[in-house]
Structure 1
Amino acid sequence: MNTVDLSAMLADHTASGAYYVDAGGGDALAEAAERLEFAFVRIDLQGCEDKEAVLARIAQALDFPDWFGRNWDALADCLDDLSWLPAPGYVLLLDHTHDWKQADPVGFDVLLEIGTEVATRWAEHGVAFWLLIPVPPGQL
């Protein structure tokens, strides 16, 4: 997919949500998000094996406010808000999720569900929100 197509895809708030993407496309996604002036945040989850580590890594990458409660509900609340990171759209790229997915598949699925729900709520306001998980080519 070329960068023009990526920009059009990212701009479509009605299609945003939580998705797997080709691991080789991170730079192109970043460039497309930049063209749209979207917030693009790459979150490295390498070495994370539990919910606490994942939440801490996400909170740090997105510079969550002090009131972040370090649980799934608080994550959803912060992702629904993002007033400290104003942008016309959001692209979160979660790198190196394999270890965590293996150690905590239920938690991994909860995060995907939260990403989908948050995207739906943002879409109601005409804002694209993407939670993208790169996987090696051929595993999509």
Structure 2
Amino acid sequence: MNTTELRSVLADPEHSGAYFIDARDTEAMAEAGSALDYAVLRVDLADCPDKAELMKRFAEAGGFPTWFGGNWDALADALGDLSWRPAEGYLLLVEHAYDWRAANGEDFDMLLDILNEAAFRRAEDGTAFWALLPFPAEQLAAFEG
């Protein structure tokens, strides 16, 4: 997909959500989000040991306010608000999530639910919210098999 096509897809809030992408497409997605004047937030889960650290990394990447409580409800509230990060849309790149998924299966499922719910709520307001989880190609192939 070329840059123009990526921008076209990302500009449509109706299709926002949490998606697995090929890790090789990460930079192209980030560039397309920036070209649309989206807030591009990168959350790196490399060597992330647990949910507490995941919350810390989301808070740092998103510049969450001091009221952020570091739990699932607070993450859902923060991603549903983002008033402190006004933008045309939002693109979260949750990098190295494949390792975290392997070690934290139930928590990973909860994270996906929260990311999709945030996208759904934002789409109702006409704002795009994309949570992209870059996975190595061989990991993506495992989902298809």
Under TM normalisation by the shorter chain, which class is it? over 0.9
- Deviation sequence 1:69-118 (CA, Å, 0-9, x none): 11000000000110111001000001111232111100001000001111
Q: Distance in 1 between matches of 2:74 and 2:15?
A: 24
In structure 2, the gaps of 5 or more residues are 141-145
What number of residue pairs does the alignment pair up? 140
Shift of 1:136: 1.1
Q: SS at the partner of 2:37?
A: coil
Q: Distance in 2 between matches of 1:109 and 1:13?
A: 22
Query: Any runs of at least 4 consecutive aligned residues in structure 1 with deviations exceeding 3 A, and if so which?
Result: none
Letter of the structure 2 residue corresponding to residue 107 of structure 1: D
Letter of the structure 2 residue corresponding to residue 41 of structure 1: L
- Deviation sequence 1:28-60 (CA, Å, 0-9, x none): 111111111001111111111211110111101
Q: Distance in 1 between matches of 2:49 and 2:127?
A: 31
In structure 1, the gaps of 5 or more residues are none
TM-score, scaled relative to structure 2: 0.93
Aligned to 1:104: 104
Aligned to 1:59: 59
Q: SS at the partner of 1:139?
A: helix
RMSD: 0.9
Q: Distance in 2 between matches of 1:138 and 1:40?
A: 26
Q: Distance in 2 between matches of 1:98 and 1:46?
A: 9
Shift of 1:138: 4.2
Q: Distance in 2 between matches of 1:128 and 1:12?
A: 6
* Greater per-residue helix proportion: 2
Identity %: 53
TM-score, scaled relative to structure 1: 0.97
* 2:127 is the counterpart of 1:127: yes
- Deviation sequence 1:4-46 (CA, Å, 0-9, x none): 1110110010000001001011111111111110011111111
